[in-house]
């Protein structure tokens, strides 16, 4: 892993720890994935902003940005629309750099796990 990927993993883990400490009610009372995801996004955004990654937005179910067209919906094949649960990115398309996706997270949780552990992948270049 690169140094940036290690830093991003640490950021995500700090956000998970803070979320689990303060938002246990959401998980233990079986609230929806969207509810949990949107609340977790607040914790992740706070960590991102405090870590020197400026200009990045944290969005839930962001559904734009495909093939260099920021207004195009991402698709798998011709019919299946792709929407990542949570993304940390710079909105829009830059002609020189393309899409700048820092972190992508697909949310899955289990009440049995006694906490929230997202499935995530660093999108950092």
The pLDDT tens digits for 48-74 are: 999 989 899 999 987 765 555 555 555
First vs last Cα of the chain: how many Å apart? 12
Give the pLDDT of residue 35: 92
The pTM of the full predicted model, rounded to 2 decimals, is: 0.77
Mean pLDDT over the full length of the chain: 78
> In this model, does residue 38 exceed pLDDT 50?
yes
> In this model, does residue 16 exceed pLDDT 60?
yes
> In this model, does residue 122 exceed pLDDT 90?
no
Average pLDDT, integer, range 92-112? 74
Q: Which residues of 92-120 are buried (b: 16+ CB within 10 A; e: fewer)?
A: ebeeeeebbbbbbbebebeeeeebbebeb
């Amino acid at each position: 892993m690169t140094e940036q990927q290690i830093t991003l993993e640490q950021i995500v883990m700090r956000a998970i720890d803070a979320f689990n400490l303060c938002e246990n009610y959401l998980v233990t009372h079986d609230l929806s994935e969207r509810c949990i995801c949107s609340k977790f996004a607040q914790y992740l955004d706070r960590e991102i902003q405090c870590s020197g990654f400026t200009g990045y937005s944290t969005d839930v179910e962001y559904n734009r940005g495909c093939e260099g067209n920021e207004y195009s919906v991402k698709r798998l094949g011709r019919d299946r629309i792709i929407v990542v649960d949570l993304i940390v990115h710079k909105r829009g398309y830059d002609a020189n750099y393309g899409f700048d996706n820092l972190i992508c997270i697909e949310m899955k949780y289990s009440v049995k796990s006694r906490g929230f552990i997202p499935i995530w992948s660093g999108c950092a270049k």
